[in-house]
Amino acid sequence: MTLIGVSILTFVLLRVVPGDQITAAYGTAAGDLSPEQLQALEAYYGLNEPLLSQYLGWLGGVLTGNLGVSATSHLSVLSMTAQSLPNTIELAVLAIGIGLVLGVPGGMLAASRPGRARDQISQLTSLVALSVPSFLLAAAVSSWLVNTIGWYPNGEGYRTLGEDPLLNLQQMLLPALVLGISIAPPILQTTRAAILAVRSEDFIRTARAKGVPARRLQVRHILRNALIPVVTMSGLQFGFLLGGALVVEQIFAIPGIGRQVLLGLEQKEYAVVQSTVLVIAVMFVLVNLLTDVIYRLVDPRVRVQ
């Protein structure tokens, strides 16, 4: 139901865009086309049909794996997505990794002495990190690197993980770091709140009373339970990264799925933008669903309800 709404919305949105696909494909030369040629092209792209049948045609194609063809590069959107999606997923996985490495220990540190200096410092740091937009951080970091040590791996053409693993990881490092810093604050906050909540539970008092050593109590009893909401949070952030990475992909020239949307928008390519946005939205919904499922697996209490 939601997905049908999503597909209608993406379809309608892009039909309202001023300028059409033919002008996009032929540039100013489109003005020189004779009315007959224009009609033939409109028929070729299916632009002369009523909106409803255009929509149904597009939807039918999507359901059978035909996402349309780019008018400028003549590549199918499916193959473009097959190339760009792995890059975005790699970036998102690395960013989540960095976000967890920064956020979970930060949250543990903050929760270890709530209200004291270390708590306030980590809360303030996360508030500032939350307030710095990723594109500003990306612009500042890349310009600083270029100007000081002259090392900027993203200046070269992009290589996939399969082509050149070493260069690929160098190229992924900065964008993943920037995105990781921007998703660390919510992870930190969730970890902190979860640890504080678990610590006041009855079973912790019981464990402490029966003499469980402090370290074991921290790891086995508190942290293990506190990580359940952190898993949910990471899932939400992963979904956000699939579509939200587009600014960072643009700055660091990572040919991911977000950049595919941006390029499509610039070139007024209905088919590309529509299908790519739909792919992103579907993945977003699926990731959120999957997070829900994992949550049920990790936390037996939810399963019972």
Partner 1 sequence: MSAAADMHEVPEVPTTRASGRWRQAFRTPGGIVGLVLMAIVTTLALLSAAGFGPDPAAQEVSEALQGPSGTHWFGTDQFGRDIFARVCSGLANSLRVAIVSVTVAALGGVLLGILAGYYQGILDRAVGVITNVLFAFPSLLLALALAATLRRSWLTVAIAIAVVYLPIFARVARGPVLTLRHAEYVLAATAVGRTRLSTLFVHVLPNILGILVVQVTLSLSWAILTEAALSFLGFGTPPPAASLGGMIYEAQTLTSVAPWMLYAPGAALILAVVGLNLLGDGLRAALDPRGGSK
> Interface residues with partner 1 (CB under 8 A)?
1-3, 5-6, 9-10, 13-14, 16-18, 114-115, 127-128, 130-133, 135-136, 139-140, 143-144, 146-147, 189, 192-193, 196, 239-240, 242-244, 246-247, 250-251, 258, 261-262, 265-266, 273, 277, 280-281, 284-285
Q: At its nearest, how many Å lie between partner 1 and the CB of residue 2?
A: 5
C-alpha distances in Å from residue 143, one per residue of 77, 150, 178, 245, 251: 33, 9, 14, 19, 11
Please calculate the CA angle 255-93-129 and round it to the nearest 5 degrees. 90
The closest alpha carbon to 265, from 16, 17, 11, belongs to 17
Q: At its nearest, how many Å lie between partner 1 and the CB of residue 199?
A: 12
Q: Whose Cβ is closer to partner 1: residue 93's or residue 262's? A: 262
DSSP letters for 154-221: GGSPP--TTT-HHHHHHHHHHHHHHHHHHHHHHHHHHHHHHHHHHHTSHHHHHHHHTT--HHHIIIII
Q: Whose Cβ is closer to partner 1: residue 5's or residue 165's? A: 5
Q: Whose Cβ is closer to partner 1: residue 59's or residue 130's? A: 130
Q: Whose Cβ is closer to partner 1: residue 144's or residue 203's? A: 144
Q: At its nearest, how many Å lie between partner 1 and the CB of residue 39?
A: 26
Q: Whose Cβ is closer to partner 1: residue 58's or residue 284's? A: 284
What the block records as the tokens of 268 is 């007024």
